[in-house]
Amino acid sequence: MDAIAYRPPRGGMPRVCFRDRHLLVVDKPAGLLSVPGRGERHQDCLLHRVRECHPGARVVHRLDMDTSGLLVLALHPEAQSRLSRAFQGRRVEKHYLAVVAGRPPGVRGAIDLPLAADWPN
């Protein structure tokens, strides 16, 4: 039995926000793995759902399971190579929005905590 049960959101192909002949940008819902995890129970993922409509789609980067947002997928090997290098070289600008409960103190601040895996994927 899993310490934390994986319950991906229902639905098929995520909403496509942009597509051209090189790449696809989709809206990943929170609760869905970007790529398959370990074991049969963790095979439902964004990549598999996208490949139902776009069989050649390739992962360029990932978002954490509990994170929603735009995910870029390459549609051919050359695009995957170029996009992967752009992400690795930090030439892709990312913006994050945090949703919080309550009102944080101050207008600005920083959270300086170590990252850790919260379940065995």
Residues 44, 64, 112, 118: which is the catalytic one?
64
64 is catalytic: yes
* Superfamily covering domain 16-88: Pseudouridine synthase (3.30.2350.10)
Interatomic CA distance for residues 118 and 4, integer angstroms: 9
The ranges assigned to domains in the chain are 16-88
DSSP state of 10: S
pLDDT per residue of the chain (121 residues) written in tens, 0 to 9: 445 688 888 888 999 999 999 999 999 999 999 999 988 889 999 999 999 999 999 999 999 999 999 999 999 999 999 999 999 999 999 998 878 889 888 888 888 887 666 655 5
Query: Is this structure's pTM higher than 0.75?
Result: yes
Residues 6+ apart with CB under 8 A from 58: 73, 74, 75, 76, 77, 79, 80
